[in-house]
């Protein structure tokens, strides 16, 4: 397991600023992780009050994104970071945006419970819960990899997105089949489809964050490239 520490600078204050930024991202990620856990719990137990609290707490995530962005802008303007320091700041900006969007997707899941009686069989509900549990595990692992800047873990998590996509497609096909036999509940079914899509999108966001970790450590932008190319990047030495 390869872990990377932030560079040590002559200015202790700069070191602390970078560490504070990373900790802020992890705090924000922890809030979103709890929101997802609560949203899945609300779905499992049909708990509208819990779902409403998830939506009400989303403002905290939005506020943290703005604060982190402002601090990143200040650091770029005053510290003029270069090489790996600049990459770290850019990665924090991007990761923060993806974490905020995960919060938005979680809100969609919570909205599903608030809309009222849900259509669909017990099989669909159970499969959505199973998918949600996988997504939850992926998010937790992603945040842990970000905390350690662990590229090996990031690559392993990156591959999990393919499993989430496969599970989502199977779930979608099952839902569409049932929806065609229950056209009277079409508006409610659309909410279900939105929630399914939200789960899949959380997986996509986690994959993005894993790519940012690899970019910071290796200095290689691995977005939109094959996993084979990513594996090659991991075998190469870090570039400044």
- Neighbouring residues of 32: CB distance < 8 A, sequence distance ≥ 6: 61, 99, 100, 102, 103, 106, 139
Q: Dump pLDDT digits (tens) for 26-63.
A: 999 999 999 999 999 999 999 999 999 999 989 999 99
d(CA 65, CA 57): 14
Q: Dump pLDDT digits (tens) for 228-238.
A: 777 777 777 54
Spatial CA neighbour of 7 closest among 93, 71, 68, 87: 87
Model pLDDT, residue 229: 75
Please state which of the four CATH numbers 1.10.1200.10, 1.20.58.220, 1.20.1250.20, 3.40.50.280 is assigned to the domain occupying 12-235.
1.20.58.220
Model pLDDT, residue 24: 97
Q: Dump pLDDT digits (tens) for 180-200.
A: 988 888 888 888 999 999 999
- Tokens 């003029």 label which residue? 80
What is the C-alpha end-to-end distance of the chain, expressed in Å? 21
% of the chain exceeding 70 in pLDDT: 93
All structural domains of the chain with their residue ranges: 12-235
| Mean pLDDT in residue range 112-126 | 83
User: Is residue 167 a contact partner of residue 153, using CB atoms and an 8 Å limit?
Assistant: no
- For 30, the token pair is 């922890």
Q: Dump pLDDT digits (tens) for 141-186.
A: 999 999 999 999 999 998 899 999 999 999 999 999 998 988 888 8
3 pLDDT higher than 60: no
Count CB atoms within 10 A of the CB of residue 62: 12
This prediction has a pTM of 0.89
Q: Dump pLDDT digits (tens) for 200-212.
A: 999 999 999 999 9
Model pLDDT, residue 240: 42
7: confidence class by pLDDT, cuts 50, 70, 90 = low
């Amino acid at each position: 397991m390869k872990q990377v520490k932030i560079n040590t600078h002559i200015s202790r204050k700069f070191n602390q600023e970078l560490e504070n930024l990373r900790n802020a991202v992890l705090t924000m990620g922890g809030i979103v992780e709890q929101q997802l856990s609560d949203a899945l719990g609300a779905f499992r137990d049909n708990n509208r009050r819990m779902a409403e609290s998830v939506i009400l707490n989303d403002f905290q995530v939005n506020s943290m994104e703005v604060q982190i962005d402002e601090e990143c802008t200040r650091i770029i303007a005053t510290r003029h970071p270069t090489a790996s320091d600049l990459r770290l700041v850019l990665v924090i900006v991007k990761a923060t945006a993806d974490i905020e969007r995960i919060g938005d997707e979680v809100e969609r899941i919570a909205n599903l419970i608030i809309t009222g009686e849900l259509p669909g069989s017990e099989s669909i509900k159970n499969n959505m819960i199973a998918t949600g549990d996988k997504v939850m595990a992926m998010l937790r692992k992603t945040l842990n990899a970000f905390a350690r800047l662990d590229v090996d873990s990031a690559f392993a998590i990156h591959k999990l997105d393919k499993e989430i996509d496969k599970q989502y497609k199977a779930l979608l096909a099952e839902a569409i089949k049932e929806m065609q036999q229950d056209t009277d509940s079409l508006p409610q079914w659309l909410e279900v489809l939105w929630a399914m899509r939200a789960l899949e999108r959380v997986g996509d966001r986690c994959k993005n964050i894993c790519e940012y970790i690899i970019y910071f450590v290796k200095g290689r932008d691995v977005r939109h490239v094959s996993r084979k190319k990513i594996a090659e990047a991991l075998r190469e030495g870090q570039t400044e």
